[in-house]
Structure 1
Amino acid sequence: MTPNAMAHWLAKAATDPEGTIRLWAMGGTVPLLTGRRWDAIRLDFTLAMAAVSQLKADAHPLGPYLMSDTERAMRWLLPLGTSYRFAGMDGVVAYPTGWAILAPPPTRCVGGRAWVLPQERPVLTHAERLLAAIDAAQHRLAHKP
């Protein structure tokens, strides 16, 4: 998928998708709303990196996620109706429907935030696989010497 097509796909979660594309073309950030096209969760950076490693080790496809170096966190896009499964997990915040995630253009880092788009086409990370990867990562991190 081209960066332009990915931008249009992501922009569908905004209240004004065409305005979002225009703002991104100028290098701005825009709020994307959870519950429109996907759910979202926030993971602490260390836990998120361990989960990414686990998903890759298990050969599971990764969907788009938003990294923030200033917040030391990642936000994962998940299929609609799945974020509740992560509620109450240590190091994880499950966003409610309508939560605004400030997002940069998919091809730039803005304000310390940048998209990681591991697939050529937009495929969301499977919630159960991410849940299992986070569980395994938490266990590994808790028992790290």
Structure 2
Amino acid sequence: MNTTRHTTGTSYPSMAHWLAASSPQPRDVRTLWAQGQMATLISGRCWDTVEMPLALSGLTSTYLTYRSQHVGPHLLSGTEATAWWLVEAGAGQTLAGVEQVKVLPVGCPITAPAPSTYNGDRLWILPESPCPWLRLTSAEALRTAVDDAVRARPVTYRRTS
């Protein structure tokens, strides 16, 4: 069953090209997306990926917004209760050792739908800007917001199943 659903009327073709560039076969990624399928992106080629529990991500986003910090593209999965934030390549280590956060290693695969679609319980959150791919969340700002979110609600955000 195909569960692809467009979430906005706006197309992000340049965003799709930029995301696909993280794969060794960007054309294959774009082809899969054009067919409404998920594709595999690779962390560390164009950006670093910071993984965190979905609930922590929501509070982190709130802290970033409250402080007028840019909230860049990130991927959400409700089923996995996980979020993956994109930060500048090489900057992910800024978050190494932060409680409840994991910096994915270079080469780690990430399964994702095309931008502006919902597919397989995954959805991109894209900033409101003409070129959302050109502006990632600052790793330093993300670290500060995560630290504050954990202190504000010092519970484990991971599911215990």
Which category of TM-score, normalised to the shorter sequence, fits these structures?
A: over 0.9
| Cα distance in structure 2, aligned partners of 1:119 and 1:66 | 15
| Cα distance in structure 2, aligned partners of 1:119 and 1:64 | 10
* Secondary structure class of the residue paired with 2:60: helix
Map 1:1-145; keep pairs closer than 5 Å. 2-120=11-129, 121=131, 122=133, 123-142=135-154
CA-to-partner distance for each residue in 1:15-71, whole Å, 9 max, x for gaps? 111111111011111111111100001110111111000000001111100000111
CA-to-partner distance for each residue in 1:56-114, whole Å, 9 max, x for gaps? 00011111000001111110001011112222222211101000011111121111001
Q: Under a length normalisation based on structure 2, what TM-score does the superposition of the two structures give?
A: 0.84
* Secondary structure class of the residue paired with 1:142: coil
Runs of 4+ in 1 over 3 A off after TM superposition: none
Aligned residues: 143
In the alignment, residue 103 of structure 1 is paired with which amino acid? A
Give the unaligned 5+ runs of structure 2. 1-9, 156-161
Give the unaligned 5+ runs of structure 1. none
| Cα distance in structure 1, aligned partners of 2:20 and 2:128 | 17
- How much does 1:2 deviate? 4.4
- Conserved? CA contact 1:66–1:115, under 8 Å: yes
CA RMSD of aligned residues (A): 1.4
- Conserved? CA contact 1:63–1:119, under 8 Å: no
Identical positions, percent: 34
Q: Under a length normalisation based on structure 1, what TM-score does the superposition of the two structures give?
A: 0.93
